[in-house]
Amino acid sequence: MKYYYLFILNLLIFGCQSNKTDELDRIIINKNELDAIFIDSVFVDYKFISLEDTDSSLIGSPKKIVLKNDMIFVSDGRYLFQFTTDGKHLRTLDRRGGGPQEYVSIWDFIVSDKEILIWDQNSRKMIRYSLENTYINSYILDYFAASIYLIDNDKVLFSSSYQGNDEYKFIIRDLETMEIIASFHQINKAQTTYRHIMYQDNYYVYKNVLLFHELMNNYIYELSNHELKPVCYIDIYGQNPPEEFWENKYDDIRDIQVVAQNNGYCYGIPIYAESENQVIFSFRRDDTALLCSYLKKTKESIQSDKLILFQGVPAIDISRIRFNTDSEETFLFAIESETFYEDIDNNIPYAKELSYLSNNGNPIICIAKLR
């Protein structure tokens, strides 16, 4: 399966906002790269779940995973699948088409306590369904959003990827009416040229504060009073891109990546999660995706491009894991089911303890908490 880092060429982002990083909380990451990070050193209370395979629950490459209402929701861009936390298939939302109740593709989705919201970027349509997949209503919006996020169960935050400099990058709408409550640029209007958001996992809630993070940006932001404010700067090996790096003019994302790679810059942050004890995030160095764990108390960190999921199972590249997390309650990720099998053809797992996992083509879901 193609997980998150295969989407990198489609992502356009924004860079640093201020030279005054000394005014922010700073996380200093010293180079301490390991061959692999063992899951027990980062996560606790984790479990692996096989997703049932039926004729209506065969998942392509997972784009987003959500745990809500004691159900696991998985989208592959075509369908939205619902499973129990034991992996039993409940239902599949398949409403592809051009009608009012239908979508061309599931670009992003969110789940509230009582409904599902599908964002179809192709037709600029927001569609509301019940948790049982019953159609509620839909809206056509004059906004080419890349991601959506639910705020307080009654508002939807839209982040833009394609709006020009004269159009707002963020819009907050009322969930019931889709009327605009607020609109704003993420940092300032003059620096939006490359700040495009196309990933659907840019948000994280820690201690009831909504944080924003993104690929190739080493800042963490707080959404407050309808604006984003930088609250943390992550210094990786002392090799972050300098301010002038973002002042250059680039034709596309690949140009940015090539210049960053040629200069040995370390840049993130596509994955971010935080607990009382640690911060975990991902970044790129020399065109390699790495996962980093930073301990708040000791200020020590470890990094690796591989994660060991189970004793005896070979380490897996971070780039092959589809991570999704949005709060300190859970950390979710999807792994190819064959990862746990030594003999794939004969379905022989690496360890007897993994015999309950099915190598059925559907991904294995891991639900965990940070240490």
pLDDT of residue 196: 46
- Minimum mean pLDDT among 79-83, 218-222, 250-254: which range? 250-254
CA neighbor of 291 nearest in space, from 6, 301, 61: 301
Q: Using one digit for the tens of pLDDT, what is the confidence trace for 257-288? A: 888 889 999 988 889 999 999 999 999 998 89
* DSSP string for 15-65: ----S-GGGSEEEEE---B-S-EEGGGTEEEEEEEEPP--TT----S--EE
- Minimum mean pLDDT among 41-45, 59-63, 141-145, 183-187: which range? 183-187
pLDDT of residue 186: 62
In angstroms, the CA 248 to CA 238 distance is 21
Q: Using one digit for the tens of pLDDT, what is the confidence trace for 110-162? A: 999 999 999 998 899 999 999 999 999 999 998 888 889 999 889 999 987 65
In angstroms, the CA 83 to CA 200 distance is 20
* DSSP string for 314-342: PPEEGGG-EEEEEETTEEEEEE-GGGGEE
More confident residue, 104 or 8: 104
- 146 Cβ contact list (under 8 Å, min separation 6): 107, 108, 121, 159, 160, 161, 162, 196, 197, 198, 199, 200
Chain centroid offset of residue 279 CA: 15
Per-residue tokens: 302 = 């470890």
**Strand order in 322-327's β-sheet?**
25-29, 227-236, 219-224, 209-212, 203-206, 322-327, 330-335, 364-370, 43-50
Model confidence at 88, pLDDT cuts 50, 70, 90, reads: very high
| Structure-derived torsion over alpha carbons of residues 309, 313, 314, 317, reported in degrees to the nearest 10 | -30
The stretch 167-181 carries a mean pLDDT of 89
pLDDT of residue 5: 36
Does position 27 have pLDDT exceeding 90, yes or no?
A: yes
More confident residue, 328 or 237: 237
In angstroms, the CA 332 to CA 42 distance is 13
Task: Give the three-class secondary structure for 308.
Answer: strand
Are the C-beta atoms of residues 330 and 49 closer than 8 Å to each other?
no
DSSP class of residue 257 equals: H
The torsion region of residue 326 among left (phi > 0), alpha (psi -120 to 50) and beta comes to alpha
User: What CATH number should be reported for the domain whose range is 4-370?
Assistant: 2.120.10.30
